[in-house]
């Protein structure tokens, strides 16, 4: 599946959005405007989906997890806290 590659104009954060999905409204990290850079074929990475608006996007492997949804105002819960691993 082809993905659209977006890059933040301010902080350079990059996300992939499936072709046909809505463009992101803002950067999931700093809330600046994102620009569509290119198309990308099946990028490896981590999938994220907003459980409030359903917006789904992917971040490149090893990238910082998104702070907010790229489409609504939801703040993502912190990904598994690596310091306090109660459950292993
Ligand atoms: Zn940004
Ligand atoms: Zn959302």
Query: How far is the centre of ligand 2, averaged over its atoms, from the C-alpha of 50 (Å)?
Result: 5
- How many whole angstroms separate alpha carbon 32 and alpha carbon 13? 10
Whole-model pTM: value is 0.84
Tell me: the pLDDT tens digits for 10-40? 999 999 999 999 999 999 999 999 999 988 8
- With contact defined as beta carbons under 8 Å apart, do 40 and 34 qualify? no
Cβ contact 36:23 at 8 Å: yes
Closest ligand to the CA of 63: 1
Counting ligands in written order, which one lies closest to the CA of residue 52?
2
CB 59 within 8 A of CB 48: yes
* 57 Cα: distance to centroid of ligand 2 (angstroms): 10
Contact 52, 68 (CB under 8 A): no
Residue 25 sits at the vertex; the CA angle it makes with 20 and 27, to the nearest 5 degrees, is 110
Ligand positioned closest to the Cα atom of 29:
1
Q: How much is the pLDDT for 43?
A: 79
CA of 82 to the centre of ligand 2 (A): 24
């Amino acid at each position: 599946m082809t993905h659209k590659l977006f890059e933040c104009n301010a902080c350079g954060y990059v996300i992939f959005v499936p072709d046909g999905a809505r463009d992101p409204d803002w950067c999931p990290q700093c809330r600046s405007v994102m620009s569509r850079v290119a198309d990308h074929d099946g990028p490896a990475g981590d999938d994220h989906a907003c459980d409030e608006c359903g917006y789904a996007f992917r971040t490149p492997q090893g990238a910082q997890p998104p702070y907010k949804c790229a489409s609504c105002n939801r703040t993502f819960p912190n990904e598994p806290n690596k310091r306090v691993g109660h459950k292993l």
